[in-house]
Structure 1
């Protein structure tokens, strides 16, 4: 098995179910979805007689080999390369918080863990926490206690929870909250560890924690100074 990536897919909401079905057919059952909106200017939409488009955003884990197969299906079956067809892209994982989280995301597939991968010369990392609803304060208290300045929350919904429950032996709510925390790279491990210990898979929050490399930032300098 190859390296792991976070695959993000953004498409019109009206075709979201077709994409979800395609991913499930490809064996990608555990996904997280959230609603979004297109950013076309309202005057352009008015001129063309169009309505603002609602988007659906899918988050899932992929390996290099499975991505190549999914990419072909997206191009052939969904015509994603056509104008307005949407976009799917990969972001490399730098670390995943614990064996349980990895098993949950991979649905118990056999995977040989590699060493943590980071982009060279990066100063910051993006920590993403996926947790059951109603546990934001629990998670952020743990994160702040380890040096995090704050986070951003979006509402999401998980799919494939039934299979995950069977594998993990715990009840997992479909309604999720995703917390995004940008932090210095040297603080990342401490923050992830604090979240895992205080709001991890063994708690009511059932938090899944992982991090992605950030190549540059704006807006954090004064806080950190």
Structure 2
């Protein structure tokens, strides 16, 4: 049995080409690349010998066996464990919107399906929808019809290898919208289904959707019903 994770890698933007080579060497086809910047104050930067450089954040779906292999290479070949080189971590994926999307996100990786996430005690989920550029309104309309209140949008670019573009007609080599929606676990399935039905792989938006468990929240006033 295998687990599926979202792998997040954050490095200085100057290493972008090296990271692209890294993913291609390990045949990780579906990678989203989004710009970012560090927020640590000068005292923290000085203490760790870091520089306030521009960052790139990379997102990809990996199995546990793939993560073990990539983690070793990140440390040995990219020396990501050295202060100032970057950071990498994984977040368990609780569900994926459809068999075809699962095959697309894990292609080339050995995977044997297990039961949905064991994190059954979590109250909230983060629904992640990846869509073609210009699809924000239609995706959010679909999400709201499934019970969502709103979301946050990131603009990203795919850095996948060419074979990803041929799979199901989906390309991650173009500009993408990443819509993040925090919702109650009980509403997750209806939101994901609405997005899949109205904006799925057969539609113009070509949305890929999956969810991640959320273990704590603050500031989600409409959802926090148990706060004294």
The reply to whether TM is greater than 0.5 is: yes
Report deviation, 1:62.
0.9
Report deviation, 1:94.
0.2
- Distance (Å, rounded) in 1 between the aligned partners of 2:29 and 2:170: 17
Alignment gaps of 5+ in structure 1: none
* SS at 1:61 equivalent: strand
Change (3 A) 1:92 1:119: same
- Deviation string for 1:148-202 (max 9, x for gaps)? 1100001000122631232324566611010000000000000000000001111
The aligned residue for residue 157 of structure 1 is 157
Question: Is the Cα contact below 8 Å between 2:160 and 2:172 reproduced in 1?
Answer: no
Matched, 1:180 2:172: no
The aligned residue for residue 29 of structure 1 is 29
- Deviation string for 1:35-93 (max 9, x for gaps)? 000113368879xxx97311000000111111111111111111111111110000001
- Distance (Å, rounded) in 1 between the aligned partners of 2:87 and 2:194: 34
Trace 1:55-204 onto structure 2 (pairs within 5 A): 55-107=55-107, 111-160=111-160, 162-169=162-169, 174-204=174-204
Q: Which moved more, 1:97-106 or 1:185-194?
A: 97-106
- Distance (Å, rounded) in 1 between the aligned partners of 2:146 and 2:44: 46
Q: Which moved more, 1:127-136 or 1:171-180?
A: 171-180
TM-score of the aligned structures, taking structure 1 as reference length:
0.90
Alignment gaps of 5+ in structure 2: none
Question: Is the Cα contact below 8 Å between 1:80 and 1:86 reproduced in 2?
Answer: yes
Backbone CA RMSD of aligned residues: 2.2
Question: Is the Cα contact below 8 Å between 2:93 and 2:210 reproduced in 1?
Answer: yes
- Distance (Å, rounded) in 2 between the aligned partners of 1:222 and 1:167: 39
- Distance (Å, rounded) in 2 between the aligned partners of 1:120 and 1:170: 32
- Distance (Å, rounded) in 2 between the aligned partners of 1:89 and 1:201: 28
Question: Is the Cα contact below 8 Å between 1:131 and 1:176 reproduced in 2?
Answer: yes
Change (3 A) 1:2 1:60: same
- Distance (Å, rounded) in 2 between the aligned partners of 1:198 and 1:142: 6
TM-score of the aligned structures, taking structure 2 as reference length:
0.89
Aligned residue pair count:
222
* SS at 2:115 equivalent: coil
- Distance (Å, rounded) in 1 between the aligned partners of 2:66 and 2:77: 16
Report deviation, 1:117.
1.0
* SS at 1:57 equivalent: strand
- Distance (Å, rounded) in 1 between the aligned partners of 2:38 and 2:180: 21
- Distance (Å, rounded) in 1 between the aligned partners of 2:44 and 2:65: 40
The aligned residue for residue 205 of structure 1 is 205
